[in-house]
A and B are shown apart, each in its own frame.
Chain A
């Protein structure tokens, strides 16, 4: 029973393409997140989202957009991919809506842009 799942696990694509990463949580949590982990292992929050509010990290390019069809899903769409987008992307969820409390992370999607 995977709590937070992501697909695909690996994604290799060329510059300029548009791609999506899917995330699903079966924990009944109200809040979901997307994180980016770069090659130096640095983790940075990109978005947090619940039914009421999307909070965007101001440093995230607008080529990145989260889409939530329902409370259990938060997909990440990336347009016009660039080399610097290569990273591991993690989805997470939490019961709390305030970034407080335990967050459950997915296994990650390794994106490689060539």
Chain B
């Protein structure tokens, strides 16, 4: 059953409000970052990506901010909707011999009606 993931950090947001999901990444050599959304029982779904030569990138209702100084990434969702309820993962990529790809631990977003 879906008892897994209950320990995940949870962000509860009122419908219509903006959501900010944060992620601290580990490797200062990371030069590419992605946010994924995972709905219950489904695979992760790409939301938006950003390269390290940028500090901000906007998509449809989403904005990713990158602060390389403190190794921090955030995902902002404007006008949060019930369909945004999911677990959100950040991922970082860097080259160490080969390409490395590391996911963060995930944040559960709950949208309150």
Is residue A62 within 8 Å, beta carbon to beta carbon, of the partner chain? no
Interface pick from B11-19, B20-28, B43-51, B60-68? B43-51
How far apart are the CA atoms of A107 and B4 in the complex, in Å?
17
How far apart are the CA atoms of A104 and B36 in the complex, in Å?
10
B56-94 residues at the A interface, CB under 8 angstroms: 87, 89, 93
- The interface size bin for chain B is 20 to 34
Q: Is the interface of B mostly helix, strand, loop or mixed?
A: strand
Interface size on A, residues (CB 8 A): 23
Nearest residue in B to A87 (C-beta to C-beta)? Answer: B4
Instruction: Indicate if the CB atoms of B8 and A103 lie closer than 8 Å.
Output: no
Instruction: Indicate if the CB atoms of B43 and A40 lie closer than 8 Å.
Output: no
Provide the A44-66 mask, 1 if CB < 8 A to any CB of B, else 0: 11001000000100000000000
> B105 to chain A: which residues have CB within 8 Å?
40-42
> A102 to chain B: which residues have CB within 8 Å?
34, 46, 49
Is residue A77 within 8 Å, beta carbon to beta carbon, of the partner chain? no
Tell which of B4, B46, B87, B101 touches A99, judged by Cβ atoms closer than 8 Å. B101
Tell which of B5, B46, B98, B99 touches A104, judged by Cβ atoms closer than 8 Å. B46
Question: A residues within 8 Å of B by Cβ?
Answer: 4, 39-45, 48, 55, 90, 92, 98-108
Question: B residues within 8 Å of A by Cβ?
Answer: 4-5, 7-8, 32, 34, 38, 41-46, 49, 87, 89, 93, 98-103, 105-106
Please name 19 pairs of A and B residues whose Cβ atoms are closer than 8 Å in the assembled complex, sorted by A: A4-B43, A39-B4, A42-B106, A43-B89, A43-B106, A55-B98, A55-B99, A98-B99, A99-B99, A100-B32, A100-B93, A102-B34, A102-B49, A103-B34, A103-B44, A103-B46, A107-B41, A107-B43, A108-B43
